[in-house]
Chains A and B, each alone.
Chain A
Amino acid sequence: MADMAVQSDVMEASGPYDRARALNAFKFGDVTFYWITRACAISVLLILGGIILSLIAGAWPAMKQYGFSFLFTARWAPSADPPVLGALGPIYGTLVTSVIAMLIAIPVGLGIAIFLTELCPQWLRRPIGIAVELLAGIPSIIYGMWGFFVLGPFLADSFQPFMIRLFDGVPVLGSIFAGPPSYLSLFNAALILAIMVLPFITAISVDVFKTVPPVLKEAAYGVGCTTWEVVRNVVIPYTRVGVIGGIMLALGRALGETMAVTFIIGNAFRITGSVFSPGTTISAAIASEFAESDGLHQSGLIMLGLLLFVLTFLVLASARLMLMRLEKKAGN
């Protein structure tokens, strides 16, 4: 508004004031602005469409060859004649690592966020906040190398044998935590993923927790709520949508993370019940084999990429649906 006032001052000073012309100029500016921003927004759709189309074109030979059996075949034999390719192994690995990573990262990430906003003494806030930001800034290949040289050996020598002994003979858990211990495994990759997605959950949760009006919290404290009750019944319900958004962002990263996972997952196209055995994820499989692939093998890898795309889309879409339902509930 201030700008407009200044402009009309200038116009008045420069000659007889033509209201219609000035309004026209504004209108023209508005229309131009509208179309520029609209073009930017539409370009996203075009780019996305282009990516989908080129993925489908690249995956076409494999689609024709394997059809839906691609989704349910657990064998990956690119050197067989003709190649036998199935995505079940990588799909399984992607889902298992992401689920374990989220199981660890959600409680820890929310815990950090709640501590930072509700409980943390002022002097400790900055160090912890900066540490979380730094975690997000570490390149994924560094996580991969650290996992390979430090975390993997530690887990295989100390943590895994302990878990295997602990659950030995227990019906379901016994086969989930089955030996032998391995430096490179689904579980190790999931743990690295958990550390990598932690900052996403924490940073977004901290930001939305700060939006809770102090008066709500003060009122709750005023009627005698404990800190736990305030967090549980005021802060979390008020920020639910934002927190879930952060979690979904983290899940998206976990599904697609490539470099760190390739280093530490063991890259084996196998499905065993144990999380301590080597496996692979969709993105790790593509990153590993793409450079030296050709023909049907390469087409199969592109189809894996398309699958990851669809998988991520489904996750984000279901998150949207869930949010919509929550908002409706809140509205009622």
Chain B
Amino acid sequence: MNFMKAIVAAGLVAASTSAFAADITGAGATFPFPLYSKWADAYKKETGNGLNYQSIGSGAGIKQIVAKTVTFGASDMPLKPEQLEKEGMIQWPQAMGALVPVVNLEGIKPGELVFSGELLGDIYLGKVKTWNDPAIAKLNPKLKLPSDAITVVRRSDGSGTTFLWTDYLSKTNAEWKAKAGSGTAVEWPTGVGAKGNEGVAGNVSQTKNSIGYVEYAYAKQNKLTYGAVINKAGKTVQPTVAAFQAAAANADWAGAKNYFVILTDQPGEASWPITGATFILMHKEPTDKAASGEAIKFFKWAFAKGAKMAEELDYIPMPDSVVKLIEKTWSADIKS
């Protein structure tokens, strides 16, 4: 009997340790979910360690990591340094995405229509009402645009995408900043709300003379007509991976405390102005040090080997210079 008991006990211990090893749990932003699950899948094949990520939204992810119910939290909006300090947490950007303005206009090809942040703000404020408005014509002297009313499409659900979009409009349009401001859900002066990136993409592709904003991947996959944008340096840029990475590389990561950088409207002639990073949040002194160490191993692996997978899913990997900084942060700040 004792022998049997020993076997059962050994089995239990083995089961609990193996469950332990696979026990990296995370929760948060929906935007990086496809990427994290693809990484987790490849990582499991390589190391046998799994990752359980629940995409429940940035706000809920922050709540979960503060309550220490998960090993890491994920948010599309960086936390302010004071808030991080108060909770004893660190954060770093894990991957990037970019937003593009998309339109449904007859005879207009992708990348032809040029916008500025101020103009986009005025359209979303409802001040520029028709496509032949002088403000649009001024930036697009060669295009023939219809006199039809503009249908403004935006997200109805609270989202990190909306935060980036409204943050960009706030930085480039003073009236937008005063009237609507920036946030995951704001007081929209005009327009119809659709659910999710897919909702906005679907709505724009269906509605003639409409404008919307979606993540680059959705514009690409749905073959939507995207517009070019004039950036902070005054140059007209097209949405390309190079332009997104330029925005990240030109951002002042080293000078920012706790990587508190919002990537919209960054300097640099090649920078795409509506770029954003998605962040990982962890405790400096985790209650479960083993799980926390496993999580760091996973993110290290993702930086080293996950770049290609990210690009396949139309995400943008962090530039090497930023990755080096982040790895320094890990060894300095996380106790394991």
Contact = CB atoms under 8 A, between A and B. Distances in A.
A90 to B, nearest CB: 12
B63 A294 contact: yes
A278 B192 contact: yes
Contacts of A288: 156-158, 185, 193, 195
B195 A291 contact: no
Contacts of A77: 180-181, 186-187
Contact of A79 (B185, B193, B194, B199): B185
A289 B157 contact: yes
Contact of A293 (B59, B156, B186, B206): B59
B158 A293 contact: yes
A299 B64 CA distance: 18
A180 interface: yes
Interface in A252-293: 262-263, 266-269, 278, 280, 284, 287-293
B192 A291 contact: no
A183 B192 contact: yes
Count chain B CB atoms within 10 A of each CB in A77, A153, A284 and give the residue with the most: A77
Contacts of B157: 287-289, 291-292
Interface string B182-199: 111111100111110001
Nearest to B162: A292
B323 interface: no
Contacts of B180: 77, 79
Interface in B13-63: 56-60, 62-63
A276 B29 CA distance: 34
A306 interface: no
Interface size band for A: 35 or more
B292 interface: no
Interface residues of B, number: 34
Given A182-B192, A266-B192, A268-B192, A289 B187 contact: no
A75 interface: yes
B193 A78 contact: no
Contacts of B160: 292
A292 B181 contact: no
A136 to B, nearest CB: 24
Contacts of B195: 262-263, 267, 288
B91 interface: no
A64 to B, nearest CB: 21
B203 A184 contact: yes
Nearest to B193: A267
A77 B188 CA distance: 8
Given A79-B181, A79-B183, A184-B194, A292 B207 contact: no
A149 interface: yes
Given A263-B195, A291-B157, A292-B184, A180 B58 contact: no
A148 interface: yes
B27 to A, nearest CB: 12
Contacts of A153: 206
A209 interface: no
Interface in B130-160: 149, 151, 156-160
A267 B156 contact: yes
A292 B186 contact: no
B202 interface: yes
B275 interface: no
A289 B162 CA distance: 12
A12 B186 CA distance: 79
A66 to B, nearest CB: 15
Interface in B183-232: 183-188, 191-195, 199, 202-203, 206-207
Contacts of A289: 157-158, 185
A180 B150 CA distance: 11
A262 B317 CA distance: 34
A291 B158 contact: yes
A80 B187 contact: yes
Contacts of B63: 294
B258 interface: no
Given A79-B166, A291-B60, A262 B156 contact: yes
A301 to B, nearest CB: 10
Interface string A175-207: 000001011100000000000000000000000
B59 A80 contact: no
13 contacts: A79-B186, A81-B181, A148-B203, A156-B207, A184-B193, A278-B192, A278-B193, A280-B156, A288-B157, A289-B185, A291-B57, A291-B59, A297-B185
Interface of A: 75-81, 84, 148-149, 152-153, 156, 180, 182-184, 262-263, 266-269, 278, 280, 284, 287-294, 297
Given A284-B156, A293-B59, 4 more contacts: A75-B187, A152-B206, A288-B193, A292-B60
The 4 A-B residue pairs with the shortest CB-CB distance, nearest first, are: A79-B183, A292-B158, A267-B193, A267-B156
